[in-house]
Structure 1
Amino acid sequence: MSTITNKLLPIFHREGIGVSMILILLFLFLSVSSPYFLTAENLSNLLLQSVFILIVAFGTMFVLTMGGIDLSVGSILGLCGGVSGWLMVHGTNMWLAILAGLALGTLIGLFNGIIITRLRISPFLATFAMLYIARGLLFLLTSKEPIRNFASQEFKFIAQGYVLGIPSPVWIALIIFLLCYFLFSFTKFGRFVVAVGSNKEAAHLSGISTNNINIRVYALSGLLAAASGIMLTSRLTSVQPLMGTNYELDAISAAVIGGTSMFGGKGSVVGVAVGSTILALISNGLDLLSVNQFYRLIITGLIILIAVGAERMTSSRAD
């Protein structure tokens, strides 16, 4: 019990101090600036806004911590959600369609990991190519037209239902958060991911199968992207050809804002949750304040820079 406590304490005392301050300041600013911010409807929408990026960002955090990068997650999200929707349109059982989507995402992630490790193609180029391949397959699947009229009430409940007054996607995200936190903080796999990202050569010499870790991490990233895609399909009750576009950039932003290093060796599941919430707060706040579209990207970029800078400063002082 004391071991678990010792591992949990850093969450509150050392991890994410700077970025948590930015989150609190944003929350307070929006609470004062808009009378609609603290309404139950808006807070529910805020949670929903963060969920889909959050799940993708968990996988991205593992990849970045290992020292890699995955630019294909947005397209994997769209393709896997599309495949599940397409299968249901053609009469496939909902659960089988969902399993097929999850399996496809995992297989694409496995393929990414294999070509990176076996063919020694850089993660950037390999996943960048997969971004186009998966997006192209989704365009073929949809024939450039949305897929509709497949969502049963049971399927809609995945992303539109409520459990104990809380949106069901939030519960799903919480379960995934707990699983990812356990996997990253309390298993050999999590320790090996950090070791490979810190020093790949040293990890190899210590007996860690670095190729195996790479493949498993990319498979996990593909699985989580697929899960988010299926949830988004349930939310939209349709499959759009451009569904998931730019999610890879948002996922990387959420992970980096939360303290994950782009150079490997450092990651935080809790930080990813905070980073995703900050991105959702920015988007939600700009909508509530009716900020001109021309200024939105500038403001978003500046807040991300401030959040990352604050996190780096507090982390360096803690070290």
Structure 2
Amino acid sequence: MKNNILKSILFTATFGALVACEEQIFPELESAEPVLVIDAWVTNRDQPQVIKITRSQPYFDEVLPTGVAGASVSVSDNLGNVFTFTEGATQGEYVWTPVGNVGFGTVGNSYELTVTVNGETFLANARMNDVPPVDSITFNKQEGTQFFDDLYFAEFWGTDLLPVGDAYWIKTYKNGQLLNKPSEISLAYDAAFSRGADYSGEKFITPIRTSINPFDEGADGSLLSPYSVGDSLYVEINSLSQEAFDFLTEVQLQTDRPGGFGELFSTPIANVPTNVRNVNASGSKVVGFFNVAAVAGNGRRFKSLDEVSRVY
């Protein structure tokens, strides 16, 4: 009995010491040589496509990384077509602009990215996979309680493609603004979350369909309704390669950190894999990713409470 009491006291003291440590510390990290970063997420949307080239910077820097000027950037497909990305007005951004109403690339084609910087050449390969349509968007109501007001949630509807092995990135725009917090990265493998779930060809499962809701708090810490009458919503499904799905899964794991005491038990930060390689295996290092996505989307404005489909 005494041993149990002693253990309890020791645990309480240790826990209290841990949670009481609120002093900010700024550890000195070893400096590292900047690494080339190639951010190449190209889609078939009928709009200019941008590839960003920067260099890595110290972890605690609070400014955007400096863009790399003077690079040569192009993407070629398996049919011999070459898409040249020219240096834009913003340093480090290289842009391809569609002619007419024809977007970039074709579903099923394979693509190779070529970037030349300071005499070094970097390559990456990707295939444009197909994507299912966003069939519709509905709004649902969560009845308020003494702790929160009525909440209005959105849900999109769509069905995964056959055969097995499709991967998607669901992007949500609320009132024209992309929801881009780490916690708002929404990924699907077939119609579920991960490989082996056996949901190929099915409707996207509920957590995927409702992942398009932002969860923000008011100044008093109260939960705000994800959507209100007058808000607009646009949902995109972007196709991913298997490697891109793994890359974004790892990005979410590394960036959506719990903070505070929970950080003690979270997965340690680590480098995220890349599909970009230096032609010279002993040359400069490179990070980043290249993916070519087909995109399907649908939008809706929340016009009135009469549009609410379900009440919970």
Q: Report the TM-score when normalising by structure 2.
A: 0.26
Flag the structure with higher helix content. 1
